[in-house]
Amino acid sequence: MKKLFFFLVILFGCETKNDSLPNVILVLVDDLGYNDVGFNGSNDIRTPNIDMLSHNGVTFTNGYVSYPVCSPSRAGIITGRYQDKFGYGLNILYTPKDPKMGLPLSEYTLADLFKSKNYITSAIGKWHLGAHESLRPLNRGFDEFFGFLTGGHRYFPEEWTLEDETKVKSQGDAYRTKLLRNDQRVEENEYLTDALSREAIDFIDRNNDNPFFIYLAYNAPHGPLQATKKYLDRYDYIKDKRRKTYAAMVSSVDDGVGGIIDKLKQHNILDNTIIYFLSDNGGSKFNSSNNYPLKGFKGELYEGGLKVPFVMHWPAKIKPNTVFEKPVISLDIFATIKSVINPSLELKNPLHGKNLMPYISGKNNDAPHDYLFWRNNGHQPPQEDGTRPRYITWALRTLDHKLLIRRNDSMFFDLENDISESINIKDSLSESFNFLNSKIKEWNESNLDPIFLGLKDNKLYNKLNPDRFK
């Protein structure tokens, strides 16, 4: 009888742990090219640990982000909403005194969602959603923060010479600030990517008995291109110096992902941990990335600016080697997680993503989205007074086609047969073109113009705010 009781305790104890709320780790990399991971065909950069997530999870071959540059894309991910619906249509400036430069306080975040179910939450790495005190991670649902606030950072700790915001005198200076642990600047001696991975692994060690959420936002492989000898030595066969350094930076991320996987295995929680891996936008033309076979780069509404490596790993619920080919978007992450951890929660603001679990499992064979939309609030060349007038470009994706509207031309592509967007079929499908153009106009009716000046308005912002760094 005692043996039976002991067996039942073990049995039900295991079931309770396996059936509990899943842990969630969102691994977000910066400016990674579509073809710069093994599971998308890279032939010069090795990513065995990231590939493992793909092989044992679901790979979204048509996975998109909601904006082709960093900060608006992140605003979409962390809210599950098209960022233009709340006026987040530009890459933000580093302005620690400005409470409007960042994610509006009216927006509910992924971290807020997890706190509704008493998760322990941590933001690690690049924030880039506002540097003002009210906009920082600890005020947006996170229990812990380790990282930096600006849109990029230098990688070698000996270059982190600025103690705090009072020492920052320009936009670029923020790349040299010491890292923050919660609200305190700290000394650090590890290569940036390694330090971020270390912090994620430590967080798992400390919280493996609680449901947790880690928002792990690596800076790599965003410029500046900097890597340690440890990673550079792996790519002696790459002769182009920039490409070699870029590959080394991607490799450092892959090592970090491997360390996280090992730690989850050690605590027997890998199967019930959801791991997302994606880039915030397409590869940049300035960091030696490779978006093949896609056209375009970061900042553009061609596929190369919007389509990213995108994986979801959850062994408890997702069959290995699942490939999902219908279009999905980063906004779906919020909706999917909500359906898993707190489906009955009423939200003030409507979500624009879809719960992907029925589609991944095959219970629903329809496309998750009839349409995906993009609005790019670009800039014209600077005028004499330093201002850069905006121009807007638009894009819409259906299951098979893509409409792209720019200042002086419009394009219509058959993505099913022309993934590289090389043939404009606008004239042969004018009726479809006009219909989809009307859909863009309809979607835009509830969009807001940007509520703040953007990165390319740096000179104008300084002129309007002369005490920005004083």
Q: Which residues are catalytic?
A: 70, 128
Angle at 165 between CA 160 and CA 167, to 5 degrees: 70
Q: Provide the greatest CA pair distance for the chain.
A: 88
* Cis before 466? omega within 30: no
- Judge whether 101 and 151 are in contact, CB under 8 Å: no
Q: How far apart are CA 8 and CA 244, in angstroms?
A: 55
- The CA distances from residue 184 to 24, 51, 132, 151, in Å, are 26, 36, 14, 19
Q: Which residues on neighbouring strands pair with residue 377, listed in sequence order?
A: 392
- Judge whether 213 and 110 are in contact, CB under 8 Å: yes
Number of other residues whose CB lies within 10 A of the CB of residue 393: 16
Q: Per the structure block, which two tokens stand in for 262?
A: 């090992």
Q: How far apart are CA 285 and CA 113, in angstroms?
A: 36
One-character DSSP codes across 252-308: HHHHHHHHHHHHHHHTT-STTEEEEEEESSPPPTTTT---TTS---TTSSSHHHHB-
Q: How far apart are CA 263 and CA 205, in angstroms?
A: 8
HSE (side-chain half, CA atoms, 13 Å) at 86:
22
- Judge whether 196 and 124 are in contact, CB under 8 Å: yes
Q: How far apart are CA 249 and CA 255, in angstroms?
A: 10
Q: Which residues on neighbouring strands pair with residue 27, listed in sequence order?
A: 216, 277
Q: In one letter, which amino acid is 414? A: D
Name 427's Cβ contacts closer than 8 Å, sequence gap at least 6: none
